[in-house]
Amino acid sequence: MSAKQKIVVVGNGMVGHHFVDEMAKHEGYEITVLSAEDRLAYDRVHLSEYFSGKTADDLALTTPEHYNELGVKFFTDAKVTNINKAEKVVSTETGDKYPYDKLVLATGSYPFVPPIPGKEREHCLVYRTIDDLDAIQASANSGKVGVVVGGGLLGLEAANALKELGLQTHVVEFAPQLMGVQLDKDGGELLRNMIEGIGVQVHTQKATQEIIDGEDCVHRMVFADGTHLETDLILFSAGIRPYDNLARDFDLQIGERGGIVVNNECQTSDENIYAIGECALWNNFIYGLVAPGYTMAKVAADNIIGGEQQFTGADMSTKLKLMGMDVGSIGDAHARTAGAQSYTYFNEPDDVYKKIVVSADGKTLLGAVLVGDTSEYDSLLQYALNAIELPEKPDSLILPSAGEKPTLGVDALPESATICSCLNVTKGDIISAIDAGACDVAAVKSCTKATTGCGGCAALVKTVTDHELEKRGVEVSTDLCEHFAYSRVELFHIVKAEKIRNFDTLIEKHGCGIGCEICKPAVGSILSSVWNDYILKEDHLPLQDTNDTYLGNMQKDGTYSIVPRMPGGEVTPERLIVIGEVAKEYNLYTKVTGGQRIDLFGARIDQLPDIWEKLIAAGMETGHAYGKSLRTVKSCVGSTWCRYGVQDSMAMAIFLENRYKGLRSPHKIKFAVSGCTRECAEAQSKDIGVIATENGWNLYVSGNGGMKPRHGDLFATDLDDETLVKYIDRYLMFYVRTADRLTRTSVWLENLEGGLEYMQKVVIDDHLGVNAELENQMQAVVDTYQCEWKTTIEDPKQLKRFRQFVNSKAVDENIEFVTEREQIRPARGEEKRYKGVQIHTVDISEPEAETV
Amino acid sequence: MTIEKQWQTICHKDDLVKNSGVCALLANQEQIAIFQVKDEMYSVGNWDPIGKANVLYRGLIGDTKGDIYVASPLYKQRFVLNSGKCLDDDSVSIKAYDTRLQNDEVQVLV
Ligand code: SRM
Ligand SMILES: Cc1cc2nc3c(=O)[nH]c(=O)nc-3n(C[C@H](O)[C@H](O)[C@H](O)COP(=O)(O)OP(=O)(O)OC[C@H]3O[C@@H](n4cnc5c(N)ncnc54)[C@H](O)[C@@H]3O)c2cc1C
Ligand code: SF4
Ligand code: FES
């Protein structure tokens, strides 16, 4: 067998890593990765999320284990400084040598810092790597004011980060407008107003001349027009420059303004050396986006194995959310094409600006600018990329819908239309996946990998898939899963009408197979809402998700968390002390949750019953933090203590929490009660929100925080206590009966035909004549409430389940903690002694064994 | 040399939980998950290679197209109980062991 071809990859950024993943699919190559950073590839695109809580581990695109599995050799802190093209060897700073048959340069780029005197001062930083972010964080801690130099895409992202770090933030831009590459003048102007509206100051047409000592802050930036600005931190984001130094030093062709010149195969002027990603100059152009880099990685890998793929350029359209503002730019945004004509829509009161640029004959879309509202971005992009003929009145595409707005049906898209631009998946790819047997969105995603990048294409992928399936006569089904040809609502009615009390009977009569992780918990929840049995009864136990089976939330290492109920957030000092004592005794990480109660983390399964026994003995009960059921009723102190309170919000919150605790529902339910309109309990973001008025209570419904926040709708005003409770009984029970699985009240209401008005008719006017029944059903649930933990610790048979091993008292060695800020936290991969499952040889001396 | 496989006695049949899983230690300290599905028994490795924790015995059991599987309680990937194959990710799999009942004792072939 011939020796493996040696592939050496310089740089392990996003593109270098993508290349490795592509290359490792093929046998017969020995891949070596040399990374100048001290870690392997991470997600630079989502770098800013580091400031909103993501860790370096979360951002990592790969791990040493993954590379080991792929058989890829890798070295970090290994900066390549020499290429010997004749001998085909590269060497690193430390003198280590690596021979190659093919060399791939994926060195990316670095931030450009303009040559301003003073730029070397302390607290003058850039925004590109995780290390940069650590430096920014440290610097921000000691300052009050921050300036970003550069008002492009990245600069504004950096400004947002500074703002979130609590700095008074300024953006200094040399050009007359923000985001000059993507936006036209009016779009840039509107963006500026919006950004200033949220407190970031924008200074355009400012050329910084020097940076000197400040009087009130660390620095003073002196501008060419004689003005100045004081700041503690300066972040340069004035563009990027390709890391092409290796090419410069070792005689590979580079562009006039930098960049390693490559051909359509991504080869440099030396045929054994490829360049991909942000260091590569193709057709005199450097792409500062990750998607084109991924395509280059694919092309280079394909060429190395003898394929013929070509890189032929990439689209630079962008849609993003900048500081909470929607901005989009497509194609020729500046109408530079000869004969181009444009249409604009400018709505100043609502901060919306839209422009489309169309060809001279008015038939095709050349470009677009969207600020403040990007809802038409997807369809405009498809018009532009696929040269789809525009409707007769192109402006109808961006005008606010005063009736029928022409929508672009997915049918109109050609097969070449890119649906997922991150992973370069076309409509044709989706069709091929379906032809090859994919019969739902999940299957299409797993075949094509669409949606696994930024995720922005998820809705479009679903529409295209469903549409194609429908065309093939596949009914896009509302079936719960392959075991039940019914929706959740239909199953609810069956369970109730036929008085079915367990899963086995239901699946025998109305389903097939043994069930799955979708239908089992869904039916478990229905049975609970209707009959309210103990959820761990023998029949019901196998239906529950692990959180319900062990009555705690499973954490990443397999331990559980413990959340005692604390109605309204009220707790006596005695109970608080017990919680503290228990946490101390079992060494649990202790935190106040976002739901006004206390969570204890890191309990092993075998410790759970003992811990709960102690909490219950002190008068506490389960908080159902694990269940699809009522979580918390947040409250403020209300009229009892607060000088503004107009009703006793505490008493109402406690009453409501005790009434609805334990109610199983399609998804979790959260409440809040505020004592006056100041709304300290944030009731309008809850499924059920109650706000005190002079005359009683205002009821809000179907609010949501979380992924897609929704303000609750005002349902009824000035209710007395009794009416309030009646309305909530009816509203919730109607939701429990009719919502799909895992649907919060917000999404349920939005999808409900007739929406809020319909629900008001049902609940207030008894339009369907079901109110008495709804109230009775709720009362039945309230009357059969039990603390599941109490029932569990009193039942020896249940207790038996709370052990890690049925044949040993040992504990799970994988559960390891380290100390951080004086408490435990799970050890991370690299901190652990336990490395997962090893392959052991068989111990033949084992006494009880017999040979087969 | 071929290493012959042996039956190891693990626990009593009453230690199992019907239509759910339990966990046990093999003689070599490896963790296994044992499931009782109706009247059949299955054993697989307890380590979730994706969630990287010893939790598979706490997953829900289901079937699809004739394969009986456990869905990881962490991130829901499904592993077929009699082969260890992962239905959602080709790049991982877990070990599967033959399992039998001898005088009410559960035995696993290792
Ligand atoms: C512990 C806590 C965070 C904290 O440290 O404060 C938390 C932790 C979890 N949240 Fe949360 N959420 C917590 C308050 C919230 C809040 C704030 C609130 O309730 O006021 C929200 C936004 C409000 C809302 O739900 O509308 C919130 C929105 C979510 C969501 C998104 C829901 C959505 O509709 O978009 C999820 C995911 C889901 O449920 O599918 C989630 C899911 C989770 C899970 C269950 C994720 C998981 O499966 O591991 C976390 C495990 C809980 C645990 O281990 O005990 N958590 N979560 C908070 C517990 C509150 C409590 O006392 O019960
Ligand atoms: C904050 C931020 C937000 C962004 N947002 C987006 C976005 O929303 N959408 C988008 O498409 N793009 C975005 N980008 C751009 C995107 O991150 C880049 O296009 C992408 O990372 C380029 O990948 P690359 O592998 O070519 O370069 P890099 O990711 O920069 O990787 C190059 C690696 O090579 C190493 N290296 C350099 N020289 C050597 C050497 N001599 N020896 C060894 N190693 C070397 C470098 O240290 C680096 O680790 C963003 C970038 C930043 C910084
Ligand atoms: S909501 Fe009103 S009553 Fe409650 S704490 Fe705030 S100001 Fe006081
Ligand atoms: S477009 Fe980013 S994942 Fe599909």
Q: Which residues pair with residue A262 across a beta bridge?
A: A282
Q: Which two structure tokens, joined as six digits, stand for A622?
A: 């389960």
Nearest one of A14, A329, A314 to A152, comparing CA atoms: A329
The conformation of residue B5, written as its DSSP 8-state character, comes to P
Local structure of A218: helix, strand or coil = coil
B7 in contact with A at a CB cutoff of 8 Å?
Answer: yes
Q: How confident is the model at residue A832 (pLDDT cuts 50, 70, 90)?
A: confident
Identify each DSSP E strand in A276-410 by its residue range: 280-282, 318-322, 325-331, 341-347, 352-358, 365-371
Give the whole-number percent of chain A exceeding pLDDT 90.
70
With bands split at pLDDT 50, 70 and 90, how would you rate the model's confidence at A841? very low
Same domain, A691 and A766: yes
Domain co-membership, A648 together with A777: yes
Residues flanking ligand 2, CB < 6 Å: A 10-16, 34-37, 44-45, 47-48, 79-80, 106-109, 127-128, 154, 157, 243, 246, 277-278, 288-291, 293
Crossing angle between the packed helical segments A721-738 and A649-660, to the nearest 10 degrees: 40
Q: What is the pLDDT of residue A408?
A: 62
Do B60 and A836 make contact, defined as CB atoms within 8 angstroms? no
A437: chain B residues, CB-CB within 8 Å: none
Q: Are residues A365 and A460 both part of a single domain?
A: no
Q: Percentage of residues in chain A with pLDDT exceeding 70?
A: 96
Give me the residues of B, 80-109, that contact A with CB < 8 A: 88, 91, 95, 109
Residue A449 falls within a domain, yes or no? yes
Tell me A291's DSSP state. H
Question: Given B6, B11, B19, which is nearest A849 (Cβ)?
Answer: B6
CB A310 within 8 A of CB A298: no
A678 Cβ inside 6 Å of ligand 3 = yes
Condensed to tens digits (0 to 9), the pLDDT of residues A449-464 reads: 887 766 667 777 887 8
Q: Give the CATH number for residue A362.
A: 3.30.390.30
Across A40-48, average pLDDT:
91
**How do residues B16-72 score in pLDDT, each as one tens digit?**
999 999 999 999 889 999 999 998 999 999 999 988 899 999 999 999 988 999 999
Residue of A nearest to B68 (CA): A514
* A543, A841, A849 member nearest B8 (Cβ): A849
End-to-end alpha carbon distance in chain B: 16
Is pLDDT of A376 > 90? no
CATH number at residue A183: 3.50.50.60
Instruction: Report the pLDDT value the prediction gives residue A840, as an integer from 0 to 100.
Output: 36
Q: How confident is the model at residue A1 (pLDDT cuts 50, 70, 90)?
A: very low
Mean pLDDT of the region A65-92:
95
How far apart (Å, rounded) are the C-alpha atoms in residues A18 and A1? 28
Say if residue A199 is in the same domain as residue A339.
no
Q: Give me the pLDDT at residue A839, please.
A: 38
Q: For residue B2, what pLDDT is reported? A: 56
Residue A704 Cα to ligand 3 midpoint, Å, equals: 21
Distance CA A389, CA A359 (A): 11
Cβ contacts from A onto B, under 8 A: 135
A748-800 pLDDT tens trace: 998 788 889 999 999 999 988 899 999 999 999 999 999 999 999 999 989 99
Residue A299 to residue A277: CA distance in whole angstroms? 11
Whether A687 and A672 have beta carbons less than 8 Å apart is answered as: no
| Residues in chain A closer than 8 A to B28 (CB atoms) | 840-843
Q: Which residue has the higher pLDDT, B90 or A737?
A: A737
* Of residues A102 and A401, more confidently modeled: A102
Predicted confidence band at A478 (pLDDT cuts at 50, 70, 90)?
A: confident
A194 and A250 co-located in one domain: no
Protein residue with least CA distance to atom 49, ligand 2? A13
Nearest CA in chain B to A549: B58
- Which residues of chain B does A850 touch, with a Cβ-Cβ cutoff of 8 Å? 6-7
- Is the CB of residue A239 below 6 angstroms from any atom belonging to ligand 1? no
pLDDT at A183: 84
Ligand minimally distant from the alpha carbon of residue A457? 4
With tokens 């239509």, the residue in question is B19
Look at residues A238, A264, A292 and tell me which one is the last residue of a structural domain.
A238
Claim to verify: residue A140 and residue A233 sit in the same structural domain: yes
For residue B71, what is the nearest residue in chain A, using CA coordinates? A517
Q: Can you give the pLDDT at residue B3?
A: 67
Q: How many Cβ atoms are within 10 Å of A131's Cβ, its own excluded?
A: 12
How many whole angstroms separate alpha carbon A704 and alpha carbon A723?
A: 23
| Residue in chain B nearest A841 by alpha carbon | B28
Name residue B37's beta-bridge partners.
B40
A453 lines ligand 4 (CB under 6 A): yes
A168 assigned to some structural domain: yes
Residue A262, helix vs strand vs coil:
strand
State ipTM: 0.72
Ligand 3, closest atom to CA A681?
Answer: 1
What pTM was computed for the model?
0.55
pLDDT in tens, A483-507: 998 888 889 999 988 999 999 999 9
Rounded to 5°, angle at Cα A499 from A497 and A503? 115
Q: Give the domain CATH number at A461.
A: 1.10.10.1100
**Residue A479 falls inside a structural domain:** no
Question: Binning pLDDT at 50, 70 and 90, where does residue A845 land?
Answer: very low
Out of A111-120, A362-371, A385-394, A709-718, pick the least confident.
Answer: A385-394
pLDDT at A414 over 70: yes
Is pLDDT at A703 greater than 50 in this prediction?
yes
In a domain, A284, yes or no: yes
Q: Which ligand 2 atom sits closest to the C-alpha of A18?
A: 25
Task: Name the residue with higher pLDDT: A380 or A463.
Answer: A380
Closest chain A C-alpha to B60 CA, distance in angstroms: 6
A402 and A443 assigned to the same domain: no
- Quick check: is A397 in a domain? yes
Determine the longest span between alpha carbons in chain A, in angstroms: 92
- The predicted pLDDT at position A348 comes to 84
- Number of structural domains found in chain A: 6
| In the predicted structure, residue A410 carries a pLDDT above the cut 80 | no
Q: Distance (Å) from the C-alpha of residue A836 to the closest C-alpha of chain B? A: 7
Nearest CA in chain B to A802: B22
What residues of chain B lie within 8 A of the CB of A846, using their CB? Answer: 6, 8, 27
Specify burial of residue A746 (Cβ count, 10 A radius: 0-12, 13-18, 19+).
Answer: buried
Ligand 4 pocket, residue A454 CB under 6 Å: yes
Of A538, A556, A806, the CB nearest to B18: A538
Per-residue burial over B25-44, b if 16 or more Cβ lie within 10 Å, else e, is: bbbeebbbbbbbbeeebbbb
pLDDT attached to residue A464: 87
Summarised one tens digit per residue, pLDDT across range A650-693 is 999 999 999 999 999 999 999 999 999 999 999 999 999 999 99
Do A101 and A246 fall within a single domain?
A: yes
Q: Are residues A641 and A776 in the same domain?
A: yes
One domain, residues A646 and A767: yes
Tokens read off for B94: 């877990």
pLDDT digits (tens, 9 = 90+) for A162-214: 998 999 999 999 999 998 888 888 889 988 998 998 889 999 999 999 999 99
* A551 domain-assigned: no
Residue A850 clears pLDDT 70, i.e. is over it: no
Atom from ligand 4 closest to the CA of residue A458: 4
Domain that holds residue A742: 630-783
The 10s digit of each residue's pLDDT in A563-574 is 999 999 999 999
pLDDT at A443 over 80: yes
Q: Dmax of chain B from CA atoms?
A: 40
- Would residue A116 count as lying in a domain? no
The position carrying tokens 């007359």 is A176
User: How many helices and strands, by DSSP H and E, does chain B display?
Assistant: 0, 12
- Say if the Cβ atoms of B78 and A521 lie within 8 Å: no
Q: Which atom of ligand 3 is nearest to the CA of A643?
A: 8
Q: Best mutation site among A639, A640, A650, A678 for ligand 3, i.e. most ligand atoms within 8 A of its Cβ?
A: A678
Is A482 part of any domain?
A: no
**A639 and A779: one domain?**
yes
Show residues of chain B in contact with A837, CB under 8 Å.
Answer: 30-31, 45, 47, 49, 95
* Nearest chain B CA: its distance from A846 CA (Å): 7
Interface of B with A in 34-63 (CB under 8 A): 34, 37-38, 45, 47, 49, 51-55, 58-63
Name which of B7, B45, B64 is nearest A837 (Cβ-Cβ). Answer: B45
pLDDT number for residue A566: 97
Residues of chain A with Cβ-Cβ distance to B35 below 8 Å are none
Same domain, A656 and A708: yes
Which of residues A193, A209, A238 is at a domain's end?
A238
Atom of ligand 3 nearest to the CA of A646: 3
| Closest to A258 (Cα-Cα) out of A109, A129, A82 | A109
Boundary of a domain, candidates A423, A441, A474: A474
Starting from the CA of residue A96, give the closest ligand.
2
Comparing alpha-carbon positions, the chain B residue that sits nearest to A25 is: B91
Residue ranges and CATH numbers for the domains of chain B are 14-100 (2.102.10.10)
Quick one: pLDDT band at residue A84, thresholds 50, 70, 90? very high
Q: What is the chain B residue with the closest CA to A554?
A: B74
Rounded distance from Cα A781 to ligand 1 centre (Å): 24
First-last CA distance in chain A: 39
CATH number for the domain spanning A655: value is: 3.30.413.10
